[in-house]
């Protein structure tokens, strides 16, 4: 049976901490096709058309004027993700409308960049799904994302790593920030072990200022 080669496959959702995601200000396409996927370039040397993260939803706000347009603020142990959902993301918008913060959530979505007049590029997520989860799911994500981040750092100097070469050109090659983020994230798991309730508390909400 033949397959339709024109049907695009879903990209793997990259696990990434907020510290690194918010530095992923460079986007690119790998072809001139109008339907070609748009990628964000992670500083540790990987492309990301979709991302997967888990954190504490701390705030929601309907910032729309003529129609609902929800902003969610979600923190992990390294920083803050911002997600935006409107009429074209009805399920995600509904979740942001109905969910009471603070709550642990898992998010899959596409990175988006915005460059205002001041030239400072901001990075956010257009969510495909936002799902309430428990503390155990959050902890597993932290551990797995730490492992994936270290794998990308270890592969950064590989001469065949084209995305690392691209990241080096766009961002430089200082990766100590992301190594430190991994350490901080793993240490946060030990701190959270003191609270066995499984409910988000002030200790699970990162105090890093908004980007």
pLDDT of residue 205: 43
Residue range(s) defining the domain that contains residue 110:
13-199
What is the model's pTM?
0.85
Q: How confident is the model at residue 178 (pLDDT cuts 50, 70, 90)?
A: very high
Q: Is 181 exposed, middle or buried (0-12, 13-18, 19+ CB in 10 A)?
A: buried
Q: Summarize pLDDT for 107-122 with one digit per residue, the tens.
A: 999 999 988 777 788 9
Listed residue (72, 61, 148) closest to 105, CA to CA: 72
Rounded to the nearest integer, the mean pLDDT of the chain is 87
CB 27 within 8 A of CB 166: no
- Domain annotation covers residue 8: no
The verdict on residue 38 lying in a domain is yes
Between CA 76 and CA 206 the distance in angstroms is 6
Q: For residue 176, is it within any domain?
A: yes
Q: How far apart are the first and last CA of the chain?
A: 50
Residue-wise pLDDT for 48-91, tens only, equals: 999 999 999 999 999 888 888 999 999 999 999 999 999 899 99
Please check whether residue 63 lies inside any domain of the structure. Answer: yes
Let me know if residue 3 belongs to a domain. no
Residue among 30, 15, 13, 42 at smallest CA distance from 163:
42
Instruction: Give how far Cα 69 sits from Cα of 97, 116, 183, Å.
Output: 10, 19, 35
In a domain? residue 6: no
CATH code, 38: 2.40.50.140
Examine residue 210 and state whether it is found in any structural domain, yes or no.
Answer: no
When divided into structural domains, the chain yields a total of 1
Query: Has residue 148 been placed in a domain?
Result: yes
């Amino acid at each position: 049976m033949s397959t339709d080669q024109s049907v695009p496959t879903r990209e793997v959702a990259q696990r990434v901490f907020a510290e690194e995601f918010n530095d992923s200000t460079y986007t690119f396409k790998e072809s001139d096709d109008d339907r070609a996927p748009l990628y964000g370039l992670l500083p540790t040397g990987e492309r990301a058309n979709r991302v997967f993260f888990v954190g504490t939803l701390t705030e929601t706000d309907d910032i729309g004027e003529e129609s609902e347009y929800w902003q969610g603020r979600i923190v992990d142990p390294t920083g803050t993700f911002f997600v935006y959902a409107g009429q074209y993301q009805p399920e995600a918008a509904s979740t942001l409308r109905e969910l009471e913060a603070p709550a642990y959530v898992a998010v899959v979505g596409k990175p988006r960049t915005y460059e205002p007049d001041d030239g400072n590029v901001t990075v956010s997520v257009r969510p495909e799904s936002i799902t309430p989860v428990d503390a155990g799911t959050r902890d597993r994500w932290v551990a797995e994302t730490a492992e994936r981040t270290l794998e990308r750092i270890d592969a950064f100097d590989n001469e065949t790593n084209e995305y690392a070469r691209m990241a080096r050109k766009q961002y430089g090659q200082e990766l100590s920030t992301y190594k430190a983020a991994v350490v901080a994230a793993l240490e946060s798991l030990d701190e959270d072990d003191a609270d066995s309730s499984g409910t988000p508390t002030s200790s699970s909400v990162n105090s890093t200022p908004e980007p």
